[in-house]
Amino acid sequence: MNAKAQGDSKRAPPGGRQCLVKVELDEESIGRSNPDVEHEREIAIYDLLEQNSFAPRDDDSGPYALHLKVDGARLVFDIRREDGEPVVAHLLSLSPLRRIVKDYYTICDSYYQAIRTATPDKIEALDMGRRGVHNEGSRILMERLKDKVALDMDTARRLFTLICVLHWKG
C-alpha cells in the first residue's frame, strides 16, 4: 500500500455525518517504512475508519477526510470534506505526546516478551498497564484537540494508535 488509505465512500459513514471516511498520510513528511510498519499503519487507519466520531468545532458538514503530515515537531491535521474541499488545518505539537508514546512502546515491548515466557498473571498485569498507558495517551490527545475537534474516547484511542505507529520505525 502506498502510505494512504481511504474509507469506502459507497457505504454510509459510521456514526452519521460527523466522522472520518478517509485518512491519508503525507509520504513526503512522514515517509515510508518497512513492510511490518506499513502493515501496522494500514491496520491503524482501517480501525479508525471502521468506527469513529470526528468533527471540527463549529462545522457540521461532514463526513471528513483527514490528511496527516509532520511539520517539524508538529503533526498537521488537514481536515477536508469528503470531496476534498478544505475545512480547517490544525497544528498539534508532538512534544506533549513524546513521553507517553515512549512509555507505550516500552510497555508493549515488555508485554510481547512476556507472552513467550511469563505466567498468565504477569501477562495480564502487563496488558492492563499497556491499556492504561494507551488510555492516558488518548486522554492527552483529546485534551490537546478539545477546542479544535470533537471526538469520543474510542476515536481518540484509534488516533493515538495511529500516532504511535507513525513514530514506529520498525
pTM listed for this prediction: 0.82
CB–CB of 145/9 below 8 Å? no
Predicted confidence at residue 10, as pLDDT, reads 34
Within its chain, how far is the Cα of 140 from the centroid?
Answer: 13
> What is the 3-class SS of the chain, one letter each residue?
CCCEEECCCCCCCCCCCCCEEEEEECHHHHCCCCHHHHHHHHHHHHHHHHCCCEEECCCCCCCEEEEEEEECCEEEEEEEECCCCEEEEEEEECHHHHHHHHHHHHHHHHHHHHHHHCCHHHHHHHHHHHHHHHHHHHHHHHHHHCCCEEECHHHHHHHHHHHHHHHCCC
- Segment 2-40, tens digit of pLDDT: 344 443 333 344 546 899 999 998 888 887 777 877 888
- Segment 61-90, tens digit of pLDDT: 889 999 999 888 899 999 999 999 999 999
Report the C-alpha gap between 8 and 10 in whole angstroms.
5
- Segment 33-57, tens digit of pLDDT: 778 778 888 999 999 999 999 999 9
pLDDT at 122 over 50: yes
**Amino acid in the structure at residue 169:** K
First to last CA, the chain: 16
Predicted confidence at residue 16, as pLDDT, reads 62
Domain ranges of the chain: 4-167
Report the C-alpha gap between 71 and 103 in whole angstroms.
23
Predicted confidence at residue 169, as pLDDT, reads 55
Could you tell me the three cell numbers for 155?
Answer: 476515536
Report the C-alpha gap between 57 and 135 in whole angstroms.
23
Question: How many residues comprise the chain?
Answer: 170
- Segment 124-165, tens digit of pLDDT: 999 999 999 999 999 999 999 999 999 999 999 999 988 888
